Amino acid sequence: MHIVFCANDEYVDEVLTCVSYISKTQKNYHLYILGDNLTKDNIDRLKGNNISVTQFKDHKDMGDWWRPNFLKLYIPQYFPELDKAIYLDTDTITLRRLDRLWNIDITDYYAGCVKNIITPKACMAKHYCEFDIPENTDIANLGVMVINCKSWRKHRITSRLIQFTVDVITKLDHSYAPNVLLARIQKEEFSFNSLLIGKWLELEERWNVVPVSKINKPYIIHTWHDPSSIYK
């Protein structure tokens, strides 16, 4: 089982907290992190917890629109040895073994994700409507993903998603609250949900339970960087 995080120095402590929870429930797994300008001290801390560290090196190719949240889209590219990976946001808490999540068959999909419970359909988010994304399109939350790395690489999904983002920003209609719209487009979920319609498998909500969810007995809690939500 391969579990991947993405982080800069600000979120290293959160990664180590996530790892401490995983270690309580899980055996036979490998941990990786795709780092964004991590310092040597933090790299040493991560390696000391048996986390393989790879630094992101493509900043020179990015424009002003770049945000670290796009790192997760590069996982298949930066870890070519992986055919499949579980990605976890740094603000997640794992409460049960991940074997069931790992064993979900995503052969025919690029990834498995939980639907966004706040805006589950494109028609509920104006920035999707602005760019003619079909109203009934399901919207995924990318805080927890099972990634089909082999298929992702084969079909060049990373470059397609990044190019889509660049193209949309270039064509941005400034008539609609441009700063708000730009901020929403600068999230990796916008390109993923706009391009990969029908190409991701919807997972049970228990695998990515956010603070506003009403799900009992979650498998993974997505705290939104609010540790108190663990107890809600």
In a domain, 163, yes or no: no
**Residue 11: per-residue pLDDT:** 95
In a domain, 183, yes or no: no
In a domain, 25, yes or no: yes
Handedness of CA 77, 36, 195, 94 (dihedral sign): positive
Residue 207, CA distances (Å) to 36, 146, 222, 230 in order: 26, 10, 9, 14
Q: Where are the beta strands (DSSP E) in the chain?
A: 2-7, 30-35, 51-55, 85-88, 92-94, 111-115, 140-147, 200-202, 220-222
In a domain, 211, yes or no: yes
**Residue 182: per-residue pLDDT:** 63
**Residue 178: per-residue pLDDT:** 55
Handedness of CA 40, 44, 45, 46 (dihedral sign): positive
Tell me the whole-structure pTM to 2 decimals. 0.90
In a domain, 48, yes or no: yes
| Residue 75 identity | I
Within 10 angstroms of residue 205's Cβ, the number of other Cβ atoms is: 17
Q: What is the tally of structural domains in the chain?
A: 1
Domain ranges, residue 70: 2-116+138-158+198-231
CATH number of 102's domain: 3.90.550.10
In a domain, 188, yes or no: no
Residue 147, CA distances (Å) to 112, 143, 206 in order: 7, 12, 18
Q: Which residues contact 136 (CB under 8 A, 6 or more apart)?
A: 121, 122, 123
In a domain, 169, yes or no: no
In a domain, 224, yes or no: yes
- Give pLDDT tens digits along the chain (232 positions): 999 999 999 999 999 999 999 999 898 999 999 999 999 999 999 998 889 999 999 876 677 777 888 999 999 999 999 999 999 999 999 999 999 999 999 999 999 999 998 877 877 676 676 777 888 899 899 999 999 999 999 999 999 999 988 888 777 655 444 555 666 666 888 899 999 999 999 999 999 999 888 898 999 999 976 544 443 3
